Amino acid sequence: MYNLHAHTFLSDGDLLPSEVAVRYQDKGYKVIAITDHADYSNIKQAAKAIVEFCRRWPKNSQIKVLPGIELTHLPPEQFKPLASLARKEGIKIVIAHGETPVEPVAKNTNHLALMADIDILAHPGLISDEDAQLAKERGIFLEVTSRRGHSQTNAHVVKQAKKFGAKLILNNDSHTPEDIISPAELIKVGLDSGLTQAEIDNIYNDLKTFLAKKEAR
């Protein structure tokens, strides 16, 4: 089981990266990514800390921890240069904070984020046909989330992904201990959003392939 969207006290989460990892391990997850919020003010420091933590996480642990970052509330034209910088700093999973309906996100964020070197467009809100098609063309995952508020548009995201053949991912977007739900609860979020169990199985097969390619780099 995977969750590639988790926050720690390196941004606005409550827990140390180690405690985040241990709590996900206790829930039965096998792979997570630490993806704290970043912009130009903190990306180098955050990336360095996350990469160092993941490098030192025990290789024989029951859970694998990948270094990630969530580019958050950027002026949309900054997604390309910051995604590139994150890669240079050793970040494996780059997330863009999408146009959620519950926060004041800049117009055109979804589109310009999808033009950058990102892996996941988080909580993309009422994503347009054009941008759903772009996600499909660029192989970028659209996020279905268990996060309160952001999850309001999960059904729309699923509908758009199915319409255009875009890839989906189920994520927790955890910030607190209470956000770290079980794999079964996360799957239920997907089912409640309009996915079938077979479609969820395909999502995890796609994710397994994606992560294998990341490991090979």
Q: Is 106's pLDDT higher than 90?
A: yes
Q: Is 217's pLDDT higher than 80?
A: no
Quick one: average pLDDT of 44-56?
98
User: Residue 81 has what pLDDT?
Assistant: 98
In CATH, which superfamily holds the domain spanning 2-216? Metal-dependent hydrolases (3.20.20.140)
Could you give the 3-state DSSP secondary structure of residue 32? Answer: strand
Quick one: average pLDDT of 168-181?
98
User: Residue 97 has what pLDDT?
Assistant: 98
Residue 213's pLDDT band, with cuts at 50, 70 and 90, is confident
pTM of the model: 0.97
Residue 129's pLDDT band, with cuts at 50, 70 and 90, is very high
User: Residue 214 has what pLDDT?
Assistant: 80
CA distance 71 to 55: 21
- Domains of the chain, residue spans: 2-216
For helices 129-138 and 154-164, the axis angle rounded to 10 degrees is 60
User: Residue 215 has what pLDDT?
Assistant: 77
Positive or negative, the CA dihedral 162, 101, 174, 134 is: positive
Question: pLDDT digit string (tens) for 175-195?
Answer: 999 999 999 999 999 999 999
- Burial code (b: 16+ CB inside 10 Å, e: under 16) for 42-69 equals ebeebbebbbebbeebeeeeebbbbbbb
Quick one: average pLDDT of 44-50?
98
Could you give the 3-state DSSP secondary structure of residue 204? Answer: helix
